[in-house]
Structures are given as structure tokens and as C-alpha cells.
Structure 1
Amino acid sequence: MSLIGRSRELDRILSVIRGPKDSALKVVGRRGMGKSALLSEIPRLSDARTVFLTASASESDWPLSGLTALLTGIDDPVLNRFADELLRDSTGAMDVPTVSTLLLNGLHQRSSSRTVIVIDDADQLDPSSQAVIGYLARRLTGTDMALFMGVREETAESPYASLPALQLTPLNYNDTVRMLEAIPARQTSTAAVHAVAAATQGNPLAAVELFTLLLERAADGKYALPVPLPGKGSFEAEFAATVGGLSPAARQVLDLLSLSCRSDIATLERTYDQLWGGIEELLANGMVSRSGPHLRIQDQLLRGYVYAAMTPATRTAGHRAMAEAAEPADPYAHRWHLSFTALERQTPFGLLRFAVDLIRNGEVPFAVEYIERALTINPWEAETAARLTTVAELLLNRGEFVYAKRYLDWAQRVTRNPALILRLTGLAFEIQFIQGGTVRPSMVLRLVKEFGQHDPAFANRLLVAGALYYADRWELADATSLLRYAEEFTDHASPDCLALAENARQLIEVISGKPEQISRRPDGGNETVATLLVQG
């Protein structure tokens, strides 16, 4: 697993290896946070001899089994004699206090060079070994040894309780994206990367497993993101234990909530008559959150697990019941649940139409599920491309460049309509303009010359946006050529585009050093901002 985003943690480990202040450090983090990956990096951080032990849960009932395995790995002459005595002890005289004292004396007698001990899953060792190692870890000063242990959680009664701790926190969103982008893949999707980063909440193992699963789906030709995202892999046992402890009412509510990104409480009340007992239990244990009249499952991987645990017949029955309950008051939910029970040709287009409304209302994650569901049902129809173009424009206007680019690319693969080709390619150029990418002006001109007559107003907008982009980069000849060609579409330009064209023209004149050509305000009042900047 990648260590992107863990530079602070690596520095802390290195300070223990090199410095005299601390001789032991426990690395604490729940499943999947990267404890094993971080500990496995230790041999590469130092030239000191490193002994690595991974605890075996199958030996946790054998007293001192973990300690004897560790001593065997250290392979020191002084400690080997002690290990032999420990193995020959058949009377039980070597209890924990005795072993701890004798082993500490042996550590001070050894004459070997600096040694680094790494124990992964140290909380899975047998209790006797944990007690001895905890005792020694607090007394390693002067032994020329450094000890690192990986544990799931800190508890007051643990033998390691008082040791210095390095708490592994979730990765931030950007580091999760960087980690996933570093994974070699034949074919990947930026949108899939961001969807995984949002769903896994900074857990590296969960992110890698989910992303790998999506790559496998794409390799099988399933390009739409699954809804909900699957909760498979290393966390299934934890999810099963969490769900297994719920009451029947809470489990029924959780099943219904897994069917949608969010659910209206009134719709749920019409579907299940024992709703509130289940809701209160789910809210109390943090599995569900409430926002106004809506409920949603907090952990999207848990949602995926609950959804997959239901039989297909149970899921269909749940969708049908929710669709019937939502019909009077919640057309969004009605259309959503109906898409799983009664497929019609207009179903995906209805989902896309509602997605447009959701984006306008700022509910982008909710809208994305509607879009991906529509693409799952009907991905390659021409009308899908037209509606995706509208969706992409709205997402672009909201700054959601990742999903805007995804749906632009999808629509481009589907459509043969020249007006849509102009609009889609132009929007893709505009995204690159905004993000500071490299777009050759010849590409913009070629697109407009070939397809501009099919949508003159958009052609004018694209040329003006390109002129501003190149003027801002001080590529004045390119900016001027685009602005000059935009004049051919002036009759179709909106007032906003005409104003932008004037701004681009003034910017070109300012940068080229011709302030005398900059116009005054029409009312003869104050000078333009560009003029003031030049004079300043």
C-alpha cells in the first residue's frame, strides 16, 4: 500500500530510530489505516538491523508463544540461551514477572549493535507475551534497541497503555486521490477515483480495494459506477458484526435506507409502521444521519454491504414499496425506485431530467447517483448524449470539473450530432482553460470552422473564452486571431459575450502596451479599470 500522505508519521518513526528520547512507539489505527504498510517501511528508513514479527492470532492461546518467536527472530547469543531455558521450562516456574526480569537483564548484557524490533498486530499476541513486551518496552533505555508495535486501538488495561503513541488518522481527500492515481491501471476514470475517495473517508485499504473492484468492472465493460458502491473486501466481517447487533426494526429501516442515497421520513413512515424505534437506534449508534426531512446511511461502504446482503427479491420488493409510498409527495424518489422495478424507455431520461434539478439545487452527490443509474440502464442512445450535455454544462458552472468531464466524454462517444460535437468539445476546452491546461489555438479554430455554423452562439462564446485565456497567458497573437474570428458570429452573440469580447480586446491592448487605444466609459465618467492599471 502506498505511503502517500504519511510523511509526518514517517518522520516520527525516524526520530525514534535515531534519537535517544524514545525507545518504543506504538502505531495505533483501525483496520485499513496503513499500520502494516508504515511498519514495513521501517527497514528502509535505517541501516540498523531490523527484526520483523507479525503476530499470529492462531497462537494467542499459547503462553509466551509470541515472545519465543520474537527471540528466535532476534537470534542474539545472550538471548538465545534465555530462549532455550524458556522452551525447556515444563514446571511453569518461568512466570511473567520472572521472564520479564531475566529478559531485561539479558538485553543489558547483549553486545550487539543497534537493533530495531517491529511487531505488527501486537495486540494479537498471547496475553503473557504482551505483558512481558509491555514491561520491557518501558525500560529499553541503555539497551541500544528500538521497539515499534502496531495495534488496532488503545485501551487503559492494555500492557502497552503508557507507551508513546502515533495515532494514524484518515488520509485527507487529496492524498487519497493521489494514492489512487498512483495505482497502475490499463484503463481508469478520474470520476471513479474521486467517487472512491469520497466514499471511503480516508481509509487507504478500503480505497484501494474499492478502486480495484471498479477497475475490474471497467475491464468487463461496465463503465457506469455501481449504485450503491459495493462494500466488499476486508471490511465485510466488521459490517456483518455491526449489522448483526441491530434489532429487527433497525435492520428493516437500514435495508430501506440502503436503497437510496437519502430517504424522506414521510415516505419511510408510509412504508414501514415500526419506523421510529429503528430510526432512534440507528441515530444513537451513529450509523444514520438526519438532515431536515431526510435520512441517510453515513458510511457508503456499509450501505453497499447492507444492499448486497439483501436478496434480489427483497431489494425489488423494497424499491416497489418505496416507489408507491413516494408517489404522492416525492417525485424524485418515486422515479428513482421505479427505475429498479418497471423499466421503460423513458426511465433513464426521467432520471437525467431529475438530475438536472438536483444539480441546480446544489445536491451534486445525489444527482450523480441518478446519472449513473441512467447510464446503467441506457448508456449509448443519442438522446442520452443530449441530456448528458446539459448535465455537464451545469456541473461545469458549479465547478464540478471531474464529473463534468466524465459526462462530456461519455456523450462524445455516443453522439454524431454536429451541434453537440461542437458543444461537447468546446466545453472540454473550457474546462482546460479554467484549469490552466494547454489547448492549442489551432484546435479551437478548427473546431469552430468545422462545426460553428451548427451553433453560432456557442461558437462565439468559445472563441471569446479562448481569447481571454490566451491573453491572460500573454499569447497575444493567438488571442487576437480568436477574437477576430469571433466577429463572424457577432450577430448571434449574447450581451454577456459581447462584454467579454470587449474585455478581451482591452486586455490585449493593455498587455501589448497600447493604452492610448483603450476606450473610456461611454458616459464620459471614470476611466476603465484596465486604463487605471496601465497608468499605475
Structure 2
Amino acid sequence: MLTSIGLRGRSRERDQLERLIRDVRSGRSRVLVLRGEAGTGKSALLDYLVDQAPATRVVRAAGVEPETELAYSAVQQLVAPLLPYLDRLPEPQRAALSTALGLSAGRPPEALLIGLAVLGLLAEAAVDQPLVVVVDDAQWLDRMSEVILTFVARRLDAESVALVFAARTPADETLLTGLPELRVEGLPEADARALLDTVLPGLADARVRDRIVAETRGNPLALLELPRGTDPAFGFGIPAADSVAGHLEQAFGRRIAALPPQTRTLLLAAAVEPVGNVPLLWRAAELLGVGAEAAGPAEAAGLVEIGARVRFRHPLARSAAWHGADPAQLRAVHRALAEATDAGEDPDRRAWHRGHAAAGPDEEVAGELESSAGRALSRGGRAAAAAFLERAAELTPEPGRRATRMLAAARARLASGGAAAVPDLLAAAEQGPLDALARATVERLRAQIAFVLNTGREVVPPLIEAAGRLESLDPAAARETYLSAVGAAINAGRFGADDLRLAVDAAAGSLAGVSLAAGTLAAGSPAPGSVAAGSLAGDVEPAGLLLASLVTWAREGHTAAVPAFRRALAAVPADAELDLLWLTGMLVHEVFDDEAFLERTEQAVTSARAAGALSRLPGALTFRSTALIHAGRFADASDLIDEAAALARATGAAPHPASGSILAAYRGKIGEALAMIDELSREARAGGAGWLLGVAGYSRAVLHNGHGDYAAALAAAREAAAYEDLAILQWSLGELVEAAARSGATEEAAQARDRLVARAAAVGTPWARGVRAMADALVGDAEDDYRAAVEAFGAGRLTLSLARARLLYGEWLRRANRRAEARDQLRPAYEAFSTMGAEGFAERAGRELTAMGETVRKRSAGTPAELTAQESQIARLAAAGRTNPEIAAVLFLSPRTVEWHLRKVFTKLGVTSRRDLPAAVGRVP
């Protein structure tokens, strides 16, 4: 072990680490990030933590700067000792982790499925013995390891696992941001002076000492390293606090430069070889003509320790050895390491070394790197694949092949989430000869980057241009790109009306020559430029049919588009559902298909879970939660919204805000709901997302109608219904009819009714019949229409709409002084709203019952103790018959944590088995 820089003045840090170990031994999990600038002693604290855990299993890994582009590098270090527990994992998780680590072949796994596997592996290992996982230099983790380990850190709870990171103070936020932190600062002044005394002679000027302590801010490594080789009696320049790391690296560089040449070469090889493999280092050293005796001066200087593994005194010493080498030396070391690496055991690291050893174009090496990229993609390592492909392209001598590889690197970068790097790669690809299809692909990728960064109107023109280039080269890709352009314009809503017309006109032209079966999308004779439609018949893909239906909707209106919407929805197969869910989820509203609304969204979530498509799961959860809201299942919808938010935190993505605002509006807590809706409005305006402004307006109208504030509801619904926002318009029109009719704005109510009835008239579903009857009832005040609305909604699956229809009918009956009949409608409405948690509507129904002399008792939570949100989720899933592993997979927890929470649920609810849960969960708020 290297000589420690000491734990002088670290009582606070030691206490926290000792408490962490106690918690882990008692059965709890703990996560901690030691955060501080270079040299503050984070690694020494990790060593102290390990020394305090003799009765636990310890696994360690470290981020290494040269390995930041190699997928799963740190994860592999951590899980290798735990692979005996791999067979305890569920098959999908076991397969995903085995594929990621190259242990077996399989479909490219999703990162978060691998994360769930790593979480399960740690939990299983901790069953036998508490586990301490230490990750040093987390700022240099490869991207995939960072995603996976952050996911694990956010889900640990009751597994007897400690996960402790050490990371430098970041300039920007990272995925680790938000985890529990312990800031590691400089030493207190007295301890800093005492440490300085160990390296400064007693004759050093006191003012020099004062300056060193002040300007290093007590940084232990700076106190030890910067005075070396200087004459403190006369003073010397100490760097400003914000450049301590740079000056420390320079100090290490000066010490390395004073070593013998062969020792410097050995240190360089150790720095470039990232995993500390001692046999590999000695094989490379032999190829470089360096003997074992070269290690002595480096070890004597305290720069490195070569034992079971190679370990540098500090990462800055590694950086100094690496960055201080000239290019020729660095290439020679990479060449030796490549030759020393077994091509059968580690072909990718060998190719990586060969790629950096090449001084100029080399097709053989470029081919190896391309093969490594393919293996990385098969394991889900898109960022690593991009890095391999970029270097392969740089080494490719033939211009055309170079451009093709650069284009492949751009695709991999975009798929990995690195959109910012793609424009430069595309520009490099364009320097080589590209055929027409490749050039069109470049344009499409540029448009896709814009769409990823901004789904509003700004991306519509480049998407249209890219689609136009693709028309003669790849018609299907052209239609998919036009669909993205139309989708971006739809999302822009009121801000993108002109862009929608441009996209639709361009898309119509691309569809004009498509041969489809009988009929047109419009009723009667097709208008000029309308698009013929029919069955698939091998002529056009589902995306093309969806595009054709939207063209007709935009040009000829809702009624003309309904048949096309139906045909397009019927044509979308289950395996395409996730890709097209954003659109099919909207179109089921346009055809008033409540069965499809619920079944498609459920299928989408099930498919995403089964396939491990966790990057697509948040979108599926959002659409499913909206369906559950209208089915009256608020608690289940809330669970899915929370799950989507947890996924977003794990991936760094932003969750879709629409369903949360709608749920808050129906729950009826005014302050909470308005805050969420106002935030949605601000985000929508800032991002140019007019469709989301429609969602915000609809949500406000729901909230105010629920509380009987019809004037406020009218203003909100009037604004929302002024725009043709797909899916949202019909909901907004329903709120507008109710608010206007109850505000005495009879003419406005009639106009909104006519618009809504025209949309529902072309459809014969229970949902459409109920909407039409309710609008007629509110305007015409006819009992037959109220009764028809209740009957129609009762035949469908939208429980929320049925409860609202009963409320309106009951209010009408009370005004008619038919109290007994009014109670028959108002009681079930009140019970339904109360059970759902729709507080505003429940209070409105309760006021009506109270006015008739009824005693209305608020529903009691009825639990011995309040369940937390996570306990409620687990309780409901267990009551639905899910096993602990199934619940763990749904909530991204380990089965051990689920079991621990269930024990607490049983105690709080006063039950002793799962058989008792369904009745008890009915009382959970």
C-alpha cells in the first residue's frame, strides 16, 4: 500500500464513513459520493472505509481517463468477483448482463436492464455477507458504467450494500448529482501546518508557510507535493486555488522527468494500460526493452506501487506520465501493449491500442476497430462503438470507405445520446465521396439531431428537406422523415401552423404515387392533392399510412380523416407500437376508441418491459397513465408517473409532463395543481410546444369545472379549444360546453356543442355516443340526453366520464326537484369520485347531496399508519398478485427491498399475509 497522505483533521469524514458501515451491517443500504478537488484525500478516505469493513466483502473499481470510451469498463471490474451469483438473477437480467460483459451472445441490451441486473447481483451477493462497493475517480467512468451505477445508486435501499464514489468537484452537473454527498475540503489550518512540517525543513520562512497553507486551502496533496524541489527559505510561487490540480500534475511531471529513461517508459506503459494488469505490463515492458529493475526508482519516488495490481500514488501522477510523453513514445507504448494483449481474450482493447499506435492510415487496423465497434453495439455500448468507428475512419486510407465509417460513427453517437458531437462527424463524412443515398442520410441525421434537441417548429424545414432528398432513394425512409416533420409541427401546435402546412404539402407529394387499395381517406371524391388509402398490401408501411391519415386530417378536417385514422391504427403491428406510440396514442382519441385507448397503452408498457426497452418505457408509461386517469384509476396512474420520473432521473432525460398535470387537475388540490399547470405552461412557451399549452388549458378547465368555478373554467377551455391540437381538442371542447352552459354563455355553449358533435357523429363507439349525448344535454337541457350519456358511458370503459355524466344528470334532477332520482345518480358519482381521489368533483357531488338533506361522510384513509408513496405502490402491486421479483422489475428495486417494504406494509395495515392485502389496500390513500 502506498504511504497515505494521512487522515489528519478528518474526524467528521471518519465518523460518517463509520456510520455508513454500521448501517450496512444492520441491513440497510447506503450511497455516498465523496466530492472534492484533486488532492484532498478522497482516495485515502476510501482506503479508510475499506479498513473499517473487515467483516464485509469489498469490491473496487476506478474510472481511468484512457478508458472513458470503452463500454462497461468499470462495471466489469466490479461485477467480475460477483459472477458466481449470476444464476440467481431472473433470465432477462442474466442474459442482458452476460451480453453486456461479452460472456454470451444476444440482443443488444438496454442500459437500464443491465442496471437492474447489477442491482440484483449486488443484492444477492449481500445476502451472504454485507457488501461494500468502492468506485474511485468517478469523473472518468465510461458513459455506460456511469449510467448503470447511478441507476443502481438511486435504487438501493435494504440490501446491506454500501456504494461509495469518489469524484472531483464537477464543473457541470453529472448523473451523480443529487446523490448523498460528503464534501471533502482542505485541512483545517493547524492540521495543514502539521502536515506541511513533514516535508518542509524547520528553517522555512514563516511567511512562506502561511502563504502555502492559505493558497493551497489546506489541500493535503498540494501541501506534500508542491514544496518538493524548491527552496522554501526564499519562497516560491504557489498556484491559485482554482488551478491546484494543474500545478500538481506539473509537479508530478517534474518528478517523473528526473527519473531514468527506462523508468519513465515503464511509468508511461503503466499509465496507458488502464486496468493495472501486472503480467500484461511486464510483457509490454519486455517488448519495449525495459527490465524489471526500472520499477525501483518510480516506487522509491512514491509515484507507483507494483504488486498484485499496478497502482499510482494519485491519478494526477498517471496523468502526468501520460500527458508528458511525446507522440512517438506514446505510439510505441500502445504498440507494445497491443502486441502483449491476447487477441482471443481481449480483442477490443488490443484493437484500441493498435488504433492509437498507428502513425498514419492503416486499413488492417481500421478493420479491427470496425469489428470492435460491431461487438460494442451487440453489447449495447453505442458510445464505445462510436469511439471505435471514429478512430477507424481516421485510419482509413480510401476516402469513400472513410466517409462511410464516419457516417456510421455519427449514427452511433446519435444513438448513444451524444448529439452534440454528430455535426462534426457529419461534416467529416461529407469531405469524402458519398453517393446520393448517403448524402440524404447525412441530411436526415442532421434533421434528427435537431428533432432530438428541439421537437418544435425549428426542426420542421430541415426534416422536410431531408425527406425530399430521400424520396427517390429510400421512399420508406422519406415517409418516416416526413412523419417526424408533421409530428414536430403538431407538437408546435399554435406556434407552427405554417410549418404544418409546409410539411403536409411536401408529404402529400411523396404519397401521390403510392399504390394503395380501394377508397380514399376523404369521404366522397378526393380533393386535389388528397391521398388515396387502403390496405397495406406490401405497398406502404404503417408509418406511411399514419402519415397519409395526418395529411387528410390537416387538409380536409377530422370527419374526412376518421376512416384513414382507423385504417392506419389497424395497420400498426404490435412490434411497431413503441416507435409509433406517440402518434397512435393520439389517434385513438380522434376515433373515440376507448377499448384501443386502454388496450394499446397497456400493450405498449408490457412490450417495453418484456423487451427490456427501458429507454422507450417512460413514453409508454406516460400514455398508459393518461388512459388510467380516464379509467378512474388515479393511484395506478400516479404509480406509473412516478416510475417514469424515476427512469428519467436515472437516464438524465426529462419526463413528459402532460399526464402529471392532467392527474393533478382531476385530483383537485387547487394550489398544487395550478403550480404544476403553470410550470407546464412556462415550459411549453419556452420550448415552443403549443400542443402542451393545449394540455395546460384543458387541465385548468378540468380543475375549475371540478370545483364549480365555471367562469375560470370557461376562460381556460375557451383558449384551449381555439386551436386544433390533436387529441386534446375534443377534451377541451367538452370542458368548454360544460363551463359555458353553466356560466350562462348559451350561444358559446351551443357553438362548442356543434363542433364536438360533428367530431363524434362519424363514430359509433360508446365513448362517442356519450360525448355527443352529454353535449346535447348541457345545451338542450333534455333529460333523455342526460340518460343517454349515462347509458353510453356505462357501456364503455371510461369510468371517469361515467361519474361526470352521473353528476351532471343528478344536478339536473335535483333542480327538477326529483330528489329520490337525483340521489340515485349523485350517490354513485360521489362514491366513484371519492374512490378515485377526484376531490373537487367529489365535493361538488357532496354539496348536491347535502343540499337534499343527505349526510355525506368523507372517506377515511382507515390505515393504522400512513403508507409512503413507495409502500403504496408495492402494496397495490402485491394485492394485484405480483410476486416480489415482478414488483422489483416494475419499480426498479431489488427483491430484497420489496420484501423489506412489504414487512412494513403488513405492520402498518395490520395484516399478516398477502391474502389480506386486496381489502386493506382499498383503504390506502
The TM-score bracket by the shorter chain reads: 0.3 to 0.5
What is the TM-score of this pair, normalised by structure 2?
Answer: 0.29
Larger RCO, structures 1/2 (Cα 8 Å, 6+ apart): 1
Structure with more of its chain in helix, by fraction: 2
What is the TM-score of this pair, normalised by structure 1?
Answer: 0.46
